[in-house]
Chains A and B, each alone.
Chain A
Amino acid sequence: MPFPTDFETPRDPADGLAAVVAMRRLADRLEVAEVERAVRDGWTWSLVAEALGVTRQAVHKKHAKRLKALGVQARKR
């Protein structure tokens, strides 16, 4: 599958690489927000992990502590 080219690809690699960094940050922010929303909606860690395509351990390690501090607990399966 070709890389989507319906956007203007930056000419300068510095701009292209900065876009990669900015997209990673945006993805991180979005992940934090969406995982919190899913767990508040009653999703289990297993389901969140499956939706993200990562292991349950990975998603738990990354988000459980933060959500617990907010008083949000994932539903037991």
Chain B
Amino acid sequence: MFERFTRDARLVVTLAEEEAGDLGSPTIEAEHLLLAATRLDPSTPVGATLAAHGLGHDELLEALDAERAHSLAAVGISISDFDLPPARPTPKPRFGANAKSALEHGLRIALERGDRRIEAGHVLLAVLRSEVGTVPRALREADVDREALSDGLAAALD
């Protein structure tokens, strides 16, 4: 399915696998695609848009930690009570359902827009389309307006 992906779109997929692996996640999730995108060069359309919205790699990692801590606190679990050693890298994380569907949806977004190639921007628009789950919750933690960010990414694709 990657034949029509641009170099940056492929890079996002490769870096997402790296992000998931480094974080010790058994699966590649939508948030790993977003983390990967924050590593694109700021001279690229997606890199520039994310930077303009204040979403860097460190900010997103911090927001993801905060999201997890808050979600656990809602059921009375305090993450700081766990004496966890640093995450062990996962050698070969598999694609999780959300990341997989984001890639498929990115393709659909490109088709609907009449774009020939699938760019990193299409993949990110797909990642950002969901109103529920870890990504929108982490964006709220980071004080990033999901819809404004989507609009910015769509404008950068024009």
Contacts and interface: CB of A to CB of B under 8 A. Distances in A.
7 contacts: A16-B74, A17-B132, A18-B67, A18-B134, A22-B68, A65-B91, A66-B90
B10 to A, nearest CB: 26
B23 to A, nearest CB: 9
B150 interface: no
Interface of A: 6-10, 14-19, 21-23, 25-26, 28-30, 32-33, 36, 65-66, 69-70
B85 interface: yes
Interface range, B side? 20 to 34
Given A10-B74, A25-B68, A36-B88, 17 more contacts: A6-B76, A8-B76, A10-B75, A16-B75, A17-B132, A18-B74, A19-B72, A26-B79, A26-B82, A28-B24, A28-B25, A29-B24, A32-B24, A32-B87, A33-B84, A66-B88, A66-B91
Most buried by A among B71, B79, B91, B133: B71
Contacts of B84: 29-30, 33
Contacts of B79: 26
A66 B92 CA distance: 10
Interface in B61-76: 67-68, 71-72, 74-76
Q: Is the interface of A mostly helix, strand, loop or mixed?
A: helix
B56 interface: no
Contacts of A18: 67, 71, 74, 133-134, 137
Contacts of B82: 26, 30
A22 B77 CA distance: 10
Q: Which 10 residue pairs are nearest across A and B when measured between Cβ atoms?
A: A7-B76, A22-B71, A18-B71, A19-B75, A10-B74, A22-B68, A22-B72, A19-B71, A15-B74, A19-B74
Contacts of B91: 65-66, 69
